Chains A and B, each alone.
Chain A
């Protein structure tokens, strides 16, 4: 996983609440057995005027120029500013895969759906929760070329006018993201504890240790 340390990035605003994972990446693209290549289909139904299907050449498709990510001045955006309950719906990790593949490294919103929030951390994407008033302020301030600086180690976001906001994050998640660490390798450091747990649980709940019929 790629590490996340410091980011100074262009911000794109997505002014809608409850953006669901079906909107982030529609189901027809979930048929892929790969982990990459979802970026061109990010927000497919909003971004294009036609109906997208897997393996389409998106450079030939008609764009919906009213959709924010198609505006010329948001090209290259790395930070998505969003509203309440971003990422609600399914557990598809294809949602953060698509956001990351498109170029987003951070998403700022007043709240996230739990599974989506969790999935972001596995993919080097930083979801940041800020109070509604702060998010409102960022939406109001946002003009062409608006950039934010995100410092994960310091847990701060700094605006172009040098206003700084502090955000909260679990220590474990922060450490793993700062160092781009593989969760599985870290968990396997506790292999002896897992085995000990199994031994102890097999005594309390032996029916869980008899194999499948």
Chain B
């Protein structure tokens, strides 16, 4: 009998019941809740007269709608305010732990989960948010769900799922200095496309992945969904276990040692069989910049915008043409010739301490360029913010002309006041460059934190390896 993949092991550990057609009832160890995708689920519970199955498995935080300035004054937008208040009220009514907007632990749901040790290796983790894939960095099976499923998890602590296929993406060799987790994952998406992972759980492996910190692995797994995979995974190793030591929600004492032993088996067996294996040469990856309106439309910073006419006539060519039109760019243009108006450093992809350090490293002693209208740094959580301030990173950013904000999703999806105006171009460390994502008519280029900071200083994209 062949060995098991990490995904096989996680799946088997959580099956409660399987139907004849393979649909299974899967037990959920941690449910993260935020304000945007939960109100209708709580309403559903009330309507049906149901109670949460296991209250302590839920952890809630408001992140999408929260302002990143003057938080003590509350939320100005009445529609956003109602949504956040609705979460507060629902959590109070059902007895669910919530980090309120003014709590120092508040932050982006996918930052606070691992930071608190509330999402752990070996768990199943779900949230009404597609970037739940982030938590797979710890060797947890983590994926996004819709609101009906949020209600289902609240009511049953389970989900009905069909097992996905196994995809191994192996990055051979180390990356060059200046090339980060973000560049790795953008390069992967550029190679396999935004539908490349549809129907699969992706395990990321190989030297370049092993070399990443937990923060870096979270960045990679975060964007598994941008490659079409609901879940991304990285096997547990010493980096993982060290990360979870002494976190507030991590197991204590004897439980810690038991958990550690359990976690140490969370890797794919050497003889495990994957449905598909993709190997990439990590040494060839350069800093990446997206140029289109889909994360797969990406180029190396020293590259040029490709010509749609080089593609065969059809859907792909049309998509590229539409993207160039929306983005206001020309085929053949050098990436480094693209000027930006705004810079956003933040989001569940890149707002952890390591990300802020990398950006500050570039910004230190410099000033943002004259053409930059706004450069925002939005830490992923209150604790990341405090840590950054203890290291003096806030001072580096503000001295350089960046704004230092309160934690939240902010301009990744512009549900709060932070957004692009029509036609504005942004170097952004977030995860989606879809039309209108950062504001109506806004133009998004996805990059790493170091590349975003470098663009802020230069006023246009520039290769961080040359700085």
Contacts and interface: CB of A to CB of B under 8 A. Distances in A.
Q: Do A and B bind each other?
A: yes
Interface string B227-246: 01110000000000000000
A118 B146 contact: yes
Contacts of B415: 27-28, 30-31
Contacts of B151: 184
B166 interface: no
A151 interface: no
A145 B331 CA distance: 39
A171 B148 contact: no
A135 to B, nearest CB: 10
Given A93-B148, A113-B228, A31 B79 contact: yes
Contact of A172 (B27, B128, B160): B160
Given A17-B316, A31-B415, A172-B160, A89 B432 contact: yes
Contacts of A154: none
Nearest to A169: B21
Contact of B255 (A26, A55, A207): A207
Given A184-B48, A190-B25, A194-B156, A122 B198 contact: no
A201 B83 contact: no
Interface stretch (B32-40, B180-188, B205-213): B32-40
Contact of A190 (B16, B118, B319): B16
Nearest to A182: B48
A101 interface: no
B71 interface: no
A122 to B, nearest CB: 4
Q: Quick one: which of B19, B198, B252 has the most chain A CB within 10 A? A: B198
A45 B436 contact: yes
Contacts, number: 204
A190 B432 contact: no
Contact of A16 (B17, B48, B86, B319): B319
Given A45-B440, A194-B27, A171 B21 contact: yes
Q: Quick one: which of A17, A91, A213 has the most chain B CB within 10 A? A: A91
A157 interface: no
Nearest to B78: A31
B289 interface: no
Contact of A194 (B16, B48, B97, B413): B16
A188 B116 CA distance: 31
Interface residues of B, number: 87
B262 A205 contact: yes
B97 A212 contact: yes
B199 A114 contact: yes
B223 to A, nearest CB: 12
Interface in A23-51: 23, 26-28, 30-35, 45, 51
Interface residues of A, number: 63
Contacts of B465: none
B53 to A, nearest CB: 7
B251 A207 contact: yes
A155 to B, nearest CB: 14
Interface string B45-81: 0001010011010010000110000000000010110
Given A190-B17, A212-B59, A33 B39 contact: yes
B156 A184 contact: yes
B228 to A, nearest CB: 6
Interface stretch (A5-13, A71-79, A80-88): A80-88
Contacts of B318: 15-17
B403 interface: no
Interface in B311-329: 315-316, 318-319, 322
Nearest to A85: B195
Nearest to B87: A33
A194 B43 contact: no
A208 interface: yes
B62 to A, nearest CB: 12
Interface of B: 16-17, 19-23, 25, 27, 29, 36-37, 39-40, 43, 48, 50, 53-54, 56, 59, 64-65, 77, 79-80, 82-83, 86, 97, 118, 122-123, 128-130, 132, 143-149, 151-152, 155-158, 160, 162, 164, 194-195, 198-199, 225, 228-230, 248-249, 251-252, 255-256, 258-259, 262, 294, 315-316, 318-319, 322, 413-415, 422, 432, 434-437, 440-441
Interface of A: 15-18, 20, 22-23, 26-28, 30-35, 45, 51, 54-55, 83-85, 88-93, 96, 111-115, 118-119, 122-123, 170-173, 183-184, 187-188, 190-191, 193-194, 197-198, 201, 204-208, 210-213
Given A187-B160, A197-B27, A198-B157, 17 more contacts: A23-B435, A26-B436, A31-B36, A31-B65, A31-B80, A32-B83, A45-B436, A88-B194, A89-B130, A91-B37, A113-B228, A114-B198, A170-B162, A171-B21, A193-B16, A207-B252, A210-B255
